Amino acid sequence: MIAKSILLIFLSIGILNASELHEDKQGFAISYGLLGGLGVSYFDKAHNSEILLSFMSFSDDIYDKSYEENKEESELHLSLYYRKFFKERVGGFYYGGFVRLTQLDGKLKNEHKRATQVKFGVGGEVGYTSFNLLHYPGLYWGSGLGVGMYLGGKHEIFENDDMLGDMQGVLHLDLIRIGYVF
């Protein structure tokens, strides 16, 4: 309930501020997305677009009964996004595509050995970006949803079912991304 209220407040701020976007929003930005990782962006007002390089890392310490010790399982995601804004300016609703490189490390299902796998995925996304968050120049927020699939590699081979990269499909959810344009 509280999370929904906060999201509605941010959506309201974004919709109200969408018309106040400064046309000079061009340049590099850093951002952090809840469920979306750390990112570095370049906003290009000449092409009404954004290029985002995003990094996510997850790890779990799992107690392995067969070895009677803790084993770390990890996944790293490096993604490159291209986002094109619908209007003749930077900001507002966008569509785009992405490529993702994922490295998974963990215990294999039904086996007493560990493995590392690297996968490559592609997908598309839609979302929204608003500048002047809380009327502070340079701050922005955004939200987006992307879907895609991994090309090659084996799927669902690791014991831990919580590993996002172990699936064939790619689901990218930027619940809320907050950043600053330099």
Sequence-distant (6+) residues with CB within 8 A of 127 are 83, 93, 94, 96, 142, 143, 144, 145, 174
State the amino acid at position 94 in one-letter form. Answer: Y
Q: Could you tell me the fold of the domain covering 2-181?
A: Porin (2.40.160)
pLDDT at 6: 41
> pTM value?
0.78
Name the phi and psi angles at 88, rounded to 5. -80, 40
How far out from the chain centre does Cα 62 lie?
25
* Length of the chain (residues): 182
Residue-wise pLDDT for 76-110, tens only, equals: 999 999 999 998 888 899 999 999 998 888 888 88
Q: Report domain extents, the chain.
A: 2-181
Low-confidence ranges of the chain (pLDDT < 50): 1-23, 68
pLDDT at 71: 65
